Structure 1
Amino acid sequence: MTSARLVCSVQTRFLPEQSDPAQSRYAYAYTVSIENRGTLAAQLIARHWQIEEGGEPTQEVHGLGVVGQQPLLGPGESHEYTSWVQIGHPQGRMKGRFLFVSVEAEPFEVEVPAFELAFANMLH
């Protein structure tokens, strides 16, 4: 069992300049913060996102790293990045997980809690 303990949080915002509601295109930026609260360094290797639109699963995204990087996080270090997604419904949701490898070469996954993609005025 690894001694790397990583915690993820996400902030989102609507991107009106990348959206076109008349064409059912809604864009959202999301900023992910990852903090290593453990005692060992760990490197982010890959990501997996599940995207829902209007309550229905629509996309899965797999890939190496995040925005072209595979950051190494030492104890007490954090990494933040911003990406974006475009969906065909005004409301959506994303959740996912990151694959990390500890300095002991032990792979492990870190869950990213589900987060909402919605206009601020649409949230109840």
Structure 2
Amino acid sequence: MYTATTRAITVSVTPSYLDDQSAPDDGRWVWAYTVEIANGSPDVVQLRSRYWHITDANGHVEEISGPGVVGEQPTLSPGDSFTYTSGCPLPTPSGFMRGHYRMQAPDGSFFEVEIPAFSLDLPARSRVLN
């Protein structure tokens, strides 16, 4: 598990390789990642958007951004958490992801919450990123 905390909001990510959805002979490796966002702050916050920076083993970078996560823009009261699972295909057998969420505070202001960098590695391989 990979974890980062920003302004008392903790983001934890657990990646896993999806062998049944991958096709290495066709240059396709697929991972799922489960994210938990826990609000340890005294404020209600709402996740408005996401940004991902995805790097494959060849150094190719793909940037993805958009509203919410998995079709939702969850509101988290103090002590609440939100968990979701998504996926990432790569053209190489390893890579890594990092990013941030754009959150909205009760006063209408916005701030970024770090998503920790995490490795996408085959189970039999050693981690590229610690």
Using the size of structure 1 for normalisation, the TM-score is 0.94
CA distance in 2, matches of 1:55, 1:39: 42
CA contact (8 A) 1:91 1:119 kept: yes
Correspondence 1:78-89 to 2 at 5 A = 78-89=81-92
CA distance in 2, matches of 1:5, 1:107: 15
CA contact (8 A) 2:58 2:92 kept: no
1:119 Cα deviation from its structure 2 partner = 0.9
Partner of 1:113: 116
CA contact (8 A) 1:44 1:98 kept: yes
Once the two structures are superposed, residues 75-117 of structure 1 have per-residue CA deviations (whole angstroms, 9 ceiling, x without a partner) of 0000000000100000110000000001111100001110000
Correspondence 1:1-124 to 2 at 5 A = 5-54=8-57, 56-123=59-126
1:55 Cα deviation from its structure 2 partner = 5.3
CA distance in 1, matches of 2:23, 2:40: 40
CA distance in 1, matches of 2:53, 2:60: 7
CA distance in 1, matches of 2:24, 2:53: 22
Name the aligned partner's letter for residue 16 of structure 1: D
1:57 Cα deviation from its structure 2 partner = 3.6
Deviation beyond 6 Å, 4+ runs, structure 1 = none
Using the size of structure 2 for normalisation, the TM-score is 0.89
Instruction: Among all aligned residue pairs of Structure 1 and Structure 2, give the percentage whose two residues are the same amino acid.
Output: 37
CA distance in 2, matches of 1:37, 1:56: 35
CA contact (8 A) 1:50 1:57 kept: no
CA RMSD of aligned residues (A): 1.1
Unaligned runs of 5+ in 1: none
